Amino acid sequence: MPAEWVWEAGVGETRAALIDDDAILAARIERDGALREGTVCRGRLLRMLPETNRAVVRLDGGEEVLLRPAPRLSEGAAISVVITREPIPEEGRLRPAHARLAEQGAAAAAAPTLAERLGAGGVPVRRLLSHQPDALEAAGWSELLDEAASGAIAFTGGLLRLSLTPAMTLFDVDGQLGADALAVAGARAAAVAIRRLDIGGSIGVDLPTVAKPARAAAAAAVDAILPQPFERTAVNGFGFLQIVRPRSRASIPELVRGNPALSAALALLRRAEREPLHGRRTLVAASAVLARIMPEWQAELARRLGTDIGLRADADLPISGGYVEPAR
Q: pLDDT value at position 276?
A: 86
Find out whether 56 and 49 touch, Cβ atoms under 8 Å.
yes
pLDDT tens for 205-263 read 999 999 999 999 999 999 999 999 999 999 999 999 999 999 999 999 999 999 999 99
Q: State the first-to-last Cα distance of the chain, in angstroms, to the nearest integer.
A: 43
Find out whether 298 and 311 touch, Cβ atoms under 8 Å.
yes
Q: pLDDT value at position 278?
A: 82
Q: Exposure string (b/e) for 137-146, b if CB count within 10 Å is 16 or more?
A: eebbbeebbe
Q: What is the mean pLDDT of the chain?
A: 95
Which whole-number Å values give the CA distances from 324 to 94, 243, 244, 288, 304, in the listed order? Answer: 31, 42, 41, 16, 16
Q: pLDDT value at position 104?
A: 86
- Burial class of residue 52, CB neighbours in 10 A (0-12, 13-18, 19+): exposed
Q: pLDDT value at position 1?
A: 67
Q: pLDDT value at position 50?
A: 84
Residue 69: asked if its preceding bond is cis (omega within 30°), the reply is yes
SS3 96: coil
**β-strand pairing of 323-326 with 281-285:** antiparallel
Q: pLDDT value at position 92?
A: 76
Residues 6+ apart with CB under 8 A from 310: 280, 281, 282, 283
DSSP label of 43: E
pLDDT at 41 over 70: yes
Q: 168: how many CB neighbours lie within 10 A of its CB?
A: 16
Rounded Cα distance, 101 and 13, in Å:
28
Q: pLDDT value at position 230?
A: 97
Q: What is the pTM of this model?
A: 0.93
H or E, element range at 177: none
Rounded Cα distance, 184 and 315, in Å:
45
pLDDT at 97 over 80: yes
Residue 112: asked if its preceding bond is cis (omega within 30°), the reply is no
pLDDT tens for 57-71 read 999 999 999 999 999
Residues 6+ apart with CB under 8 A from 236: 215
SS3 104: coil
pLDDT tens for 272-324 read 999 888 889 999 999 999 999 999 999 999 999 999 999 999 999 999 999 99
